[in-house]
Structure 1
Amino acid sequence: MSKPCIICVAITGSLPRKENNPAVPVTLDEQVESTQAAFEAGASIAHCHVRNDDQSPSSDPDRFARLMEGLNTHCPGMIIQLSTGGRSGAGRERGAMLPLKPDMASLAVGSNNFPTRVYENSPQLVEWLADEMLAYDIKPEIEAFDLSHIHQAATLAEQGKIKAPLYVQFVMGVKNAMPVDKPTFGFYIETLKRLAPDAHWCGAGIGANQLILNEWSIAAGGHTRTGLEDNVRWDKTSLAPPMPPWWSGWRSCVRSTSARWPPGNRRARSSGSRRPDDSPQRPLTAVTIGCIAICTEGFHKCGIHRCSFDHRNLA
């Protein structure tokens, strides 16, 4: 039996603003409401950023604490993953929220180019963030923007700086970084399996390639990510709607087409962990989703479908 598929929802990010898409949730209340809608539709991990009042990105621990409080109240059992990304702060400021002990936190293990700047992650900062995550029992999500980042993650695990099994996110489609390329995607999977056979992985496509990475990731047996952080448009002429109609639109479209359910269609069931590494440290309330399907007819209008099963009540 194949493993469950986990959907991570990246609600807001650090860059999209109301001017780009009015549906982008910026305030804490908006983020909680949007995350709850995604959770009830089947998402299991919330990748979280916080904003200042002027919509600029922040690493403020107080804002993260209030966001976590809201998510724990309205999305019980959802895996909370806080961002330590470089747009929200500099140096150790990026890890100021880690004492809050979220389930997970993002960890970029190397530097790379972004559209207009270098995303700088020095070895010293990476090791400090990894040490903090170990100290607070936080599961890192390795953000792999480049092949070398997969190698570096495996090295850190060998050195005991990251607890195995690894959870690696392949980020593709950022301008000036790794493009969305199917052979490269396959080589990423092959390389991770060779270096860390017990690792879990997730695919995240940025911009117009978001749904392409969703499709590739699910078909290849991995996990996947969606949300307005990665893409504020539904297509070339339409903005992505708020989370509830976005997800319900996917479901309606799949139900209205003659969808073919691929081999390996996976239903997530409860296990002994709230984190995607199968470690038993924390009890599970709800970790993953119901049935996942790819609508192979008109995929870019259908996306991912969660069936009508309630993931919180699966046996």
Structure 2
Amino acid sequence: MIPTYSRPAEKRKVVVTCAVTGNAPLNPKYPYEYPVTPTQIAATVAEAASAGATVAHIHVRDPQTGHGSRDPLLFRETVDRIRQQGTNILINLTAGMGALFLPDPTDEGRGLPESDMLSAAARLAHVRDCLPDIASLDVTTGNQVEGGFDYVYLNTTRTLREMARIFCELGVKPEVEAFQAGDVLFANAMYAEGLIKAPPLYQFVLGVKWASPAETETMIYLKSLLPSDALWSGFGLSHRQMPMVAQAVLLGGNVRVGLEDNLYLDRGRFATNGKLVERAVRIIEDLGEAVATPQEARAMMRLDGAPSPSQPVTQDRTQAASV
């Protein structure tokens, strides 16, 4: 007798995050309008939402130079534009800036002037000002390389615990960015200490040089370390983006795509945020699942008290400008 398998009556809902722009140097060969200004970033968030994205993960860039920025006023303008245009999407702001340490080659106990190290409060000034639904909490320290630039990404346990306390105070959901196994274990400890509210939200960042490879075995192992009630997603950089979408769906997780992590649809064929989301949606549906709406994701993550997409923040901008 041939064994039979019956699928659950309802399809599982998969959250699709689109990381619309990052901090990496711009690729001069990119043929489309890369999102740099708040207007462009808000427009590409709308594009991603129309293609099916549930969450927009947002960095900002200096409109004059195109370089990554942590200016709270740029975050504020970007978030206001997204809310005012009524885009139905959850807003996830990066909080990964202010952890860049460049050791002086002649004395590695000292940082070069280009180092950018901030306190927990300063790293979350834009989060306090904008009150997004979610913001990233990069629970990792290690050697990293981006665009040929070598640095130490330095997040101490003291700073991370203080950032987690501020997240709780603000009512913003932290998305734990885990680059390797120890990151998951420390986040688990913070969850056990009550510094992260249930359900904890983890994201596996795979394919970063000198961290964890974007492979099936990596994702399976990191998933095995999670608390039983955790929500999680996983993504791979560059050409590993779509294989990791499929793998995360098959393992019961959520997914992330976007130009921050990958500029290509296929070898030699550049992508847009909308096209990357469309492909992720197709993979999810071809694997028999369904994409979560922002409202469904809000319920899954137990997000309470965040401003609605159409409600601009009305706090004074002055304090943020001083950071």
TM tier, smaller: 0.7 to 0.9
Give how far 1:248 is off.
5.5
2:270 to 218, 239, 253: 239
Contact 2:54 2:294 (C-alpha < 8 Å) held by counterparts: no
1:58 matched residue in structure 2: 69
Give how far 1:56 is off.
1.6
> How much identity, in percent, do the aligned residues show?
28
1:12 matched residue in structure 2: 21
CA spacing shift, 1:138–1:12, aligned 2, 3 Å: same
1:68 matched residue in structure 2: 79
**What SS does structure 2 have at the residue aligned with 1:175?**
coil
CA distance in 2, matches of 1:159, 1:14: 32
Amino acid at match of 1:98: V
Alignment of 1:209-220 (within 5 A): 209-220=240-251
Structure 1 unpaired stretches of 5+: 287-315
Give how far 1:186 is off.
0.7
Contact 2:174 2:201 (C-alpha < 8 Å) held by counterparts: yes
Alignment of 1:90-239 (within 5 A): 90-92=117-119, 93-100=122-129, 101-115=131-145, 116-192=150-226, 196-239=227-270
Amino acid at match of 1:78: I
1:302 matched residue in structure 2: none
In the TM superposition, what whole-angstrom CA distance separates every residue of 1:235-270 from its partner, at most 9, and x where no partner exists? Answer: 332222x3345555778xx69xxx99435x235367
Contact 2:136 2:175 (C-alpha < 8 Å) held by counterparts: yes
In the TM superposition, what whole-angstrom CA distance separates every residue of 1:118-173 from its partner, at most 9, and x where no partner exists? Answer: 21111122122112111111100000001111111110011111112110000100
Q: CA RMSD in A?
A: 2.7
Of Structure 1 and Structure 2, which has the larger fraction of its residues in strand?
2
Contact 1:273 1:282 (C-alpha < 8 Å) held by counterparts: no
1:262 matched residue in structure 2: 287
TM-score by length of 1: 0.79
Q: Moved runs in structure 1, 4+ residues, more than 6 A?
A: 283-286
2:301 to 253, 277, 283: 277
CA spacing shift, 1:117–1:260, aligned 2, 3 Å: closer
Amino acid at match of 1:4: K
Alignment of 1:33-52 (within 5 A): 33-52=43-62
In the TM superposition, what whole-angstrom CA distance separates every residue of 1:263-282 from its partner, at most 9, and x where no partner exists? Answer: 5x235367577364135545
CA distance in 2, matches of 1:247, 1:260: 12
TM-score by length of 2: 0.77
Give how far 1:233 is off.
2.3
Tell which structure's C-alpha radius of gyration is larger.
2
Q: Report which structure shows greater RCO (CA 8 Å, sep ≥6).
A: 2
Give how far 1:283 is off.
8.7
Give how far 1:112 is off.
2.0
Amino acid at match of 1:173: G
Amino acid at match of 1:180: A
Contact 2:144 2:208 (C-alpha < 8 Å) held by counterparts: yes
